[in-house]
Structure 1
C-alpha cells in the first residue's frame, strides 16, 4: 500500500511541487501584507503625532545660520516631542509649586483668622462680664456712672474716649 502511494506521488511530483511553491508564496504574501500594514499604520501614527506637535515627519534640508542642515526622517519631530514633554513636565511642576504656595498662604490666613476670631470672642466675653459687673454695681442705686458707660461702650465695640476729656 505504501509502495502504491509513493508510486502515485512519484507520478504527480511536479504538481505537488507546484502546490508547495504556491502555498509558500501565498504564506509569504500574507506575511508581507501584514508587515506593510503595520509599517503603514506606524507611519500614519508618526505623521499624525508630528502634525499635532507642530512639525513634519518627513526628511528635509534647511538653511540654518547660512549652513545647509539635513534632517533625517523623524529627527525634527522627535526633538519637538521631547521639547513638548519637557514643557509639560515643567508646567506640571510649576503648577504644583504654585498650588502648594497658595495652600500654605490660605492655611496661614485661616490660622490668622481663627486667632482673630478667638481674640474677638474673648474680648466680647470679657466685655459682657464687665457689663454684668457694672449693672450689678448700678442695680442697688439705679444710678449709672462713667464705669457703666465705659462697659456699655466696650460691649458695643466702641473705643473708650481718650484720657483727659
Structure 2
C-alpha cells in the first residue's frame, strides 16, 4: 500500500514538475523582490543621512562642478562625483579638529608647567619669608632680653623691631 501511494505520488510529481519548478522560481523571485526592497530602503536611508551630514558641515552631497587651481595655478573646471566635496570637507574638519586638540593639549601642558613653576617659587618664597620671620622673632627675643638686663634700648633692639615689622635693618 505504501509502495502504491509512493509510486502514484512520484508519477504525479513527474507529470507536474513544470508547475512545481515554476512555483519554486516564483517563490525565490518573491523572496528576492522583498530583499531588494529592503536593500533599496537601506540605500535611500543612507543617502538621506549623508545629505543631512553634508548639509551640517556646509557642503552638498550631489555631484557638482567647481573651479580649482591646477599645479601651475591656472583655474580649471573639476567635476566632482556625488559626495566627493562632502568627503573632502569632512576630512578637512577632522584634520582641523586633530590640530586643534593637539594645540589645546600643548597649551594645557604649558599652563600646567607654568602653574607648577609659580607654585614652587611661591612655596620657596613662603618658606624664606617664614624663616626670616622666625629669625626676626628670635632676634627680637634676644634684643628684648638684653634690653631688660641692661635697661638700655640700643640699635640692635631697633634693628630687631624693624626685622619683626618686615623692614630692613638700618644702615651703619
TM-score, with length taken from structure 1: 0.89
> d(CA) in 2 for partners of 1:151 and 1:62?
84
Aligned counterparts of 2:171 and 2:81: Cα–Cα separation in 1: 85
Q: Does 1:72 align with 2:60?
A: no
Structure 1 residues 124-163: Cα deviation after superposition (integer angstroms, max 9, x where no partner): 0110110111011011243322211210111111223344
Runs of 4+ in 1 over 6 A off after TM superposition: none
- Structure 2, unmatched stretches of 5+, are 70-74
- For each residue in 1:7-41, what CA deviation from the matched residue of structure 2 results, as whole angstroms up to 9, or x when unmatched? 23245445423322221111111110121122112
Given the alignment, which residue of 28, 32, 37 partners 2:36?
32
Deviations 1:47-106 (A, max 9, x none): 122112210111012334653221111111111111001000000000000000000000
Task: Report the CA distance shift for 1:140/1:64 in structure 2 as closer, same or farther (over 3 A).
Answer: closer
SS of residue paired to 1:140: helix
Structure 1 portions without partners, runs of 5+: none
Is residue 149 of structure 2 the alignment partner of residue 143 of structure 1? no
Partner of 1:53 in structure 2? Answer: 57
**What is the CA–CA distance in structure 1 between the aligned matches of 2:135 and 2:68, rounded to whole Å?**
79
Say which SS state the counterpart of residue 26 (structure 1) adopts. Answer: helix
CA distance in 2, matches of 1:102, 1:137: 52
Normalised TM-score (structure 2): 0.86
Question: 2-side partners of 1:131 and 1:63: how far apart?
Answer: 85
Question: Which residue number in structure 2 is paired with residue 98 of structure 1?
Answer: 107
**Equivalent residue of 1:106, what SS?**
helix
